[in-house]
Amino acid sequence: MEGVFTEIYNKNRWGDGSGTGSNMSIDNKKYIEKLEDILKTYNIKTICDIGCGDWKFSQYINFGTCKYLGIDCVESVIKENKKNYQKKNIRFQHKSLSEDFIPHGYDLIIIKDVIQHWEDDDIIKYMQELINNNKYVFCTNGYKFMRDPSKNKLKKRNIQNQYRYFPVDIDKYPLNSLTMECLMKYERRAKQMLLLKKLETSVN
């Protein structure tokens, strides 16, 4: 995965850095509004942002005094983020989500425009781990194609196609196979924002 996304940045396959999904668009303004509301409502103190990207729009998020860790698999992106944005409570680390590294114990996991590049099995495995081992997961992805899906030639998620994306909808496989509680679902155009948490089981 690291090699794929390093090539994307080095060759500008998405046009510029993290692509249009990282620009300060109307969609991302709404995303910031929803995220900042979550930080206040759920008294968030610690955050891990998986696939934090180049922070083009994230620099405008008011994290307050939250302890934030942004991780990304592209080393050059993390170096730039450290140089431009790192401060006392905002840190960045060159990491890839893997079986050897799954963040645990955070108040909030942010994972934006990431799992839409993963294979189905990885979505199930890693998302369930993140939900089970952190208080909340704020997951944002494209959940439908903006254009006619019949014109999209990619039929299956795989490593070769990770620079493209497939819609991920909470009401469809693979997300609907997870054991979780959805506290918020907000949809705007082709984007779906979800606040997820571990499903609490009652003991009789």
Supply the DSSP string of 93-149, one letter for each residue: EE---BTTB---S-SEEEEES-GGGS-HHHHHHHHHHHHHHSSEEEEEEE-S-SS-G
- Least confident interval from 5-14, 26-35, 97-106, 193-202: 5-14
Would you call 107 helix, strand, or coil by DSSP? coil
- Token pair of 76 as six digits: 């050059």
Instruction: Return d(Cα 138, Cα 197) in angstroms, integer.
Output: 9
* Residue-level pLDDT at 90: 99
For residue 19, the model assigns a pLDDT of 46
Q: Residue 116: its pLDDT value, please?
A: 86
Residue predicted with more confidence, 57 or 5: 57
Q: What pLDDT score was predicted for residue 100? A: 86
Cα separation, 55 vs 121, whole angstroms: 28
Q: In terms of DSSP H, where are the helices of the chain?
A: 2-10, 26-41, 75-85, 120-133
- What 3-state class would DSSP assign to 20? helix
Domains, the chain, with CATH or none: 2-197 (3.40.50.150)
Q: Which of 13-22, 57-66, 140-149 is least confident?
A: 13-22
- Give the chain's count of helices (H) and strands (E): 4, 7
* Cα-Cα-Cα-Cα dihedral sign, residues 9, 12, 14, 19: positive
Q: In this prediction, what percent of the chain has a pLDDT beyond 70?
A: 75
Instruction: Give tens-digit pLDDT for 91-143.
Output: 999 998 888 889 999 999 999 999 988 889 999 999 999 999 999 999 999 89
Mean pLDDT, the chain, integer: 84
Instruction: Give the pLDDT band of residue 188 (cuts 50, 70, 90).
Output: confident
Count Cβ atoms below 10 Å from residue 178 Cβ, excluding itself. Answer: 17
| pLDDT given at position 13 | 47
Pairing assessment for the beta strands 191-197 and 136-142 based on DSSP bridges: antiparallel
Can you give the pLDDT at residue 14? Answer: 44
- In the chain, the N- to C-terminal Cα span, in Å, equals 44
pLDDT of 82 strictly over 50: yes
Q: Which residue shows structure tokens 């620009």?
A: 23
Give the pLDDT score at 154.
43
pLDDT in the model for residue 98: 86
